[in-house]
Structure 1
Amino acid sequence: MPRSRWKVFLAAALLISSLVRASADDGAIIDRWYSALLAADRTELSELLADDVRMKLDDIGVVQTKQDFIASIDEWQSAVAGAAIRHRIERSENGETTVLACYDFPSNDTLMRE
């Protein structure tokens, strides 16, 4: 997968993960998200996303629907091969949870606050 394409997918994944709002009691939902993302599990990701979700990627001017996101999983699966994703909840307040996530790709690491 071209480097720019997996970056687009990663940006979408990061944005979507920010849409998964949970309280501290809902850490299991966040765990499900990252496990599904690492496994490129279309079924699980689809279950975690609302049908009318829109992912807005401001840095590249793209808006993705749920269907667009799920359709891009094949490319993501190639990019995430051999990778790991580590995450921890940083804080949870007012119905919003902030997660610190490290995407450990074989060729580089990316640390994100989501």
Structure 2
Amino acid sequence: MMRQDCHRAAFVAAALLSSLVCARADDGAIIDRWYSALLVADRTELTDLLADDVRMKLDDVGVVQSKQEFIDSIDEWQGAVAGAAIRHRIEKREAGVTTVIACYDFPNNDMLMHETFAIADDRITASTQKALAESCAAY
């Protein structure tokens, strides 16, 4: 009987670990979608990716935007991102927050950014963005 309980416990642990790994993979897919949509200023996709009560924090300029404020700023962003590239890599995942290093490679300059994403139910619930360097040399 005890052996059966151990097998059951091992199965439950494996199932929980598997669901955690899948959730992390899904978070990576959400972040990939985010940067793809951001690069082309796709309002529909960005709207879909953001939770209704999201808070977008831009540390360098001291701004916190709601979902609507962020979407309203996409017209200005669209002009800035024309001809740009965005490279990103996930640095770590901890306590429900994914940390990303992103290089925004604009036609006339580039910028290395530290960005965090909290994700729940396939939606970004919070994001923080802070500049690391005025070049992507360290990317």
TM-score, length-normalised on structure 2? 0.61
Query: Is 1:99 the equivalent of 2:78?
Result: no
Partner in structure 2 of residue 42 of structure 1: 43
Number of aligned positions between the proteins: 93
Query: Is 1:27 the equivalent of 2:39?
Result: no
Q: Distance in 1 between matches of 2:65 and 2:114?
A: 21
Q: Distance in 1 between matches of 2:100 and 2:107?
A: 22
Judge which range, 104-113 or 88-97, deviates more.
88-97
Percentage identity across paired residues of the two chains: 82
Q: Distance in 2 between matches of 1:113 and 1:61?
A: 15
Q: Which amino acid in 2 is paired with 1:109?
A: D
Q: Distance in 2 between matches of 1:91 and 1:63?
A: 23
1:61/1:46 Cα in 2 relative to 1: closer, same or farther (>3 Å)? same
Q: Distance in 1 between matches of 2:103 and 2:111?
A: 6
User: How far is 1:58 from its partner?
Assistant: 4.4
Give 1:81-96 correspondences, 5 Å limit. 81-96=82-97
1:25/1:61 Cα in 2 relative to 1: closer, same or farther (>3 Å)? closer
CA deviations on 1:25-45 (whole Å, 9 max, x unpaired) are 521111000001001000110
TM-score, length-normalised on structure 1? 0.73
Flag the structure with more relative contact order, 1 or 2, with Cα contacts below 8 A and sequence separation at least 6.
1
Runs of 4+ in structure 1 off by over 4 angstroms are none
Partner in structure 2 of residue 66 of structure 1: 67
CA deviations on 1:7-36 (whole Å, 9 max, x unpaired) are xxxxxxxxxxxxxxx735521111000001
Larger radius of gyration: 2
Q: Distance in 1 between matches of 2:66 and 2:89?
A: 27
